[in-house]
A and B are shown apart, each in its own frame.
Chain A
Amino acid sequence: MKIEIGDYKGLTVIALSGEIDMYSSPELREEMMTLIKQKISPVFVNLKDVTYIDSSGIATFVEGLKIMMRYSGSLKFISIPEGIMEIFNFSKLDKVFEIYRNIDDALGN
């Protein structure tokens, strides 16, 4: 998995690529917690190039969201591939996460 933290129109975007599993999710958690400690919000997570996610990856996002909610922060997902979206739907994450086709759609909303 690769993690790139960038900026789009002044907004923080975490762009992930590759496989998110029990091996790689601790690194993702660490990066997310660094942003969360700074109370950065919103944080956009771009999953366009993610090819795989397991329950540890899902748990990392859920944990991040729960902490961000304490300061009314928001975690927004963009460009989720179909196979990953299927797992989000199965896990009912589509009910709690803000999900958009792309960042411009998110900004339009």
Chain B
Amino acid sequence: MKDSAVIMIPSHPKFLSVIRAVTFKMCELSDMDNSAIEDVKLAVDEACSNIIKHAYKGDTNKKIIVRFKMTCKGFEVIIDDDGLKAQPALMEGRRLDDIRPGGLGIHLIKRAFDVYAFDDKKKKGNRLRLIRNRKGKNEDRDRRL
């Protein structure tokens, strides 16, 4: 449990603010710069929103478990649900210059994390693993340019 935290929320959108608050504090403890913290907070929120929308089809009585781990290599977030299996091949998102509602969340997740992967071993539901490699503050800035 060293340098890690776990939070479980109901799959109701009103609890996304709780996820954001915990993500923010964990990022602070991980010594990220402010812009990186905002990117990661948004990405984790988007991943949980996707679970509510797609895995649970809007059912607000399910659960979402988010685990945060800080390691010497970086910042890891593992998100579990018991919903419908995600189909990563169909989760490309829209082209960014194709302006229309929807399809943006996946881009916001991938810009914050270096690894975005579903665990195939999980039989029921989904386990999404997100890893942001540790970077220097200038590298965080350069990544955004």
Listed in ascending order, the chain A residues whose CB lies under 8 Å from chain B are: 19, 21-23, 52, 54-56, 58-60, 62-63, 66, 83, 86-87, 90-93, 95-96
Interface size bucket, B side? Answer: 20 to 34
Check B108 for interface membership: any CB of A closer than 8 A: yes
Asked if residues A62 and B17 are in contact (CB atoms below 8 Å), the reply is no
Assess whether A92 is in contact with B99, with CB atoms less than 8 Å apart: yes
Q: Given A22-B52, A83-B38, are A54 and B97 also a contact pair (CB < 8 Å)? A: no
Q: Is the interface of A mostly helix, strand, loop or mixed?
A: helix
Instruction: Tell whether, in the assembled complex, residue B111 and residue A55 are in contact, meaning their CB atoms are under 8 Å apart.
Output: no
How far is B13's CA from A93's CA once the two chains are assembled, in angstroms?
Answer: 25
Secondary structure at chain B's binding surface: helix, strand, loop or mixed? Answer: helix
Q: Is the CB of B101 within 8 A of A22?
A: no
CA distance A87 to B144 in the complex (A): 11
A20 → B minimal CB distance (Å) = 11
Residues 103 to 136 of chain B near chain A (Cβ within 8 Å): 104-105, 107-108, 111
